[in-house]
Chain A
Amino acid sequence: MLLTILYLVLLMFNGVSFLTDSTRYINYRALLTLLILLYASRGLEISGFLNAIAIRIISRWGIAYRTIIIVLVTELFASMIIMNDAVLFIYIPLILSISRISKYDKALLVVLAVSAANIGSSLTPFGNPQNLIIWIHYRLGIDAFIKGMLLYFLISAGILIAYTVFILKRSGCRKIIKPALPRIRINIFLASFSFLVFILVVLGNYIRMLLLVALIFSVLGYILIDKNILLRTDYVLLLIFMLMFIDFGYLGSQLRIPAYLSKCQLVAVSVVVSFIISNVPATIFFLKSVSNWLPLAIGVNLGGLGVLTGSLANIIGVRLSGIGIRDFHRYSIPLFISVFVIVIALCPLFFN
């Protein structure tokens, strides 16, 4: 709604020509990649593959604070491959079940799960939409992207685990319960097909035609395997991204970031802008005026932690779990401050 209002305001100021001019801000390749990744992520989500892993972990380790850490570690890895929002649809209900059994604070576990999805997804180009946009816009290789983000990922993941251990131990170690969890039927074929689509998208970065092949292949495949994946994909989300590209692409071209800002200052500025307008719009806003991708990528990923508005994943976590906004911030802000302080303190190391 706000994006539409902003679009109409921009249209009023720029005249009818904006209708056609504005389309040049849209990155169609990013949208196409996002669409295919949405299909593949939903396919993996519905296949039950990750759920089966989670069930095995709980059945083997029981429910105790170490299980929560193992679950978070698997979530960190899962969100490197699957879009972070799809990961949350699996992990939030799981973490709510753990909270129900263990009596650990629901809001705390939800914040940990959301943060794990945000942090895990920061490492790879396809973990979240802001990384995807940066990866495509700056024409980076997958290896270059991962190499650039590795230190940030290691620091933030380390802090998340340390924070989890500290806060769970402080809230008292609960009795270990070892439930015999019933299994969910896994659709191996759907999981394998979705992995294949995912590999095609990755290769599509090197051979452009493969992206179109991946689209046709995924659409035909999901029609045959489970057409619900195609029918129930949120196409409005693509429209929202299109409007984001137009609105914030235009604003970014008008309000350029001063060139004298250092890389570390740029990290801090992108954190603040992410807090205000969320990290995907912030990414689009900075694309035109920032020549170095790494401070932007670190800033917008860091900006996704902490404040609810920082990332779509935070909003999904709160909506799925029904926790209060104040409860969310009670646990997310201390985690954000810890990561922010250390990232800023070690900032020069990222750009050596």
Chain B
Amino acid sequence: MGNPLPNPDQAIFNYEAVKQAIDTVKKALPFLVPGPPLIHRDPGGKVHVDIPLMYNGFAIDRIHYDPVAGHPSPKGRPVSVVISKLVNRSIIDRMAQVLNETSVIEAGEYRDPEKVWIIPLAWNNLIIAHVKVSSDGKHIIPDEALTLEISRRTL
């Protein structure tokens, strides 16, 4: 018996494309800007703030923001706090500063169902966002649902 035929998807999988994906995100990084804060209030009075990360008119991910500490919280740790006053302008200014100090992690995760590379962004040793890139590593994949959510909330 010879070797079984490889899975067609695996046969065309390009391991080199991750380098291209990382390069794409590095090129996009100077153009990333914070979107308007998305503020969720729970019935207990706690507030949870997410900042959309925007690239060229599209949201690409949401960053959890810790309004008490005044900086992002790592991915997977949304912060819910009781806070009396939130100033959108200060949050946006702070996040613009954070993005100047953000770097691209030189490694990617591949999500087979979506056929995309996930390239993490780090700030202060914390992974704060993921950027989705097409499987060939060339195109940024926007988060369409989040983009529409921003439109709806801003109106």
Contact = CB atoms under 8 A, between A and B. Distances in A.
B78 interface: no
Given A54-B56, A319-B88, A179 B27 contact: yes
Contacts of B84: none
Interface in A201-238: 226, 228-229, 232-234, 237
20 contacts: A45-B57, A45-B147, A46-B148, A51-B58, A54-B57, A85-B155, A93-B35, A93-B54, A93-B56, A93-B58, A179-B30, A181-B31, A183-B138, A184-B58, A185-B139, A232-B149, A234-B152, A320-B150, A320-B154, A322-B36
A343 to B, nearest CB: 29
B154 to A, nearest CB: 5
A93 B99 CA distance: 14
Contact of B57 (A94, A101, A322): A94
Contacts of A94: 56-57
A89 interface: yes
A86 B147 CA distance: 11
A263 interface: no
B105 interface: no
B96 A182 contact: no
Contact of B140 (A184, A226, A234, A320): A184
A326 to B, nearest CB: 11
Contacts of B28: 181-182
Closest 3 CB pairs of A and B: A322-B92, A90-B57, A232-B148
Interface in B44-62: 54-58
Interface residues of B, number: 38
B19 to A, nearest CB: 14
Contacts of B80: none
B16 to A, nearest CB: 17
- Secondary structure at the A interface, as helix, strand, loop or mixed, is helix
Contacts of A48: 58, 142
Interface of B: 24-25, 27-28, 30-36, 54-58, 88-89, 91-93, 96, 134, 138-142, 144-145, 147-152, 154-155
B155 A237 contact: yes
B151 A182 contact: no
A324 interface: yes
B27 A93 contact: no
Contacts of B149: 232
Please classify how large the interface on chain A is, using the bins under 10, 10 to 19, 20 to 34, 35 or more: 35 or more
Nearest to B32: A97
B36 A234 contact: no
A100 interface: yes
A51 B148 contact: no
A49 B147 CA distance: 14
A89 B57 contact: yes
A250 B145 CA distance: 38
Given A46-B147, A89-B147, A179-B31, 15 more contacts: A48-B58, A51-B58, A89-B150, A89-B151, A93-B55, A97-B55, A100-B96, A181-B28, A181-B31, A181-B56, A182-B25, A182-B140, A228-B148, A233-B148, A322-B93
A184 B155 contact: no
Nearest to B59: A93
Contacts of B30: 97, 100-101, 179
A195 to B, nearest CB: 18
A228 B145 CA distance: 6
A38 B150 CA distance: 15
A320 B141 contact: no
Nearest to A229: B148
Nearest to A96: B33
B57 A50 contact: yes
B35 A320 contact: yes
Contacts of A233: 148, 152
Interface string A301-325: 0000000000010001001111110
B155 A316 contact: yes
B27 A180 contact: yes
Nearest to A184: B140
A55 B56 CA distance: 8
Given A228-B144, A232-B145, A184 B27 contact: no
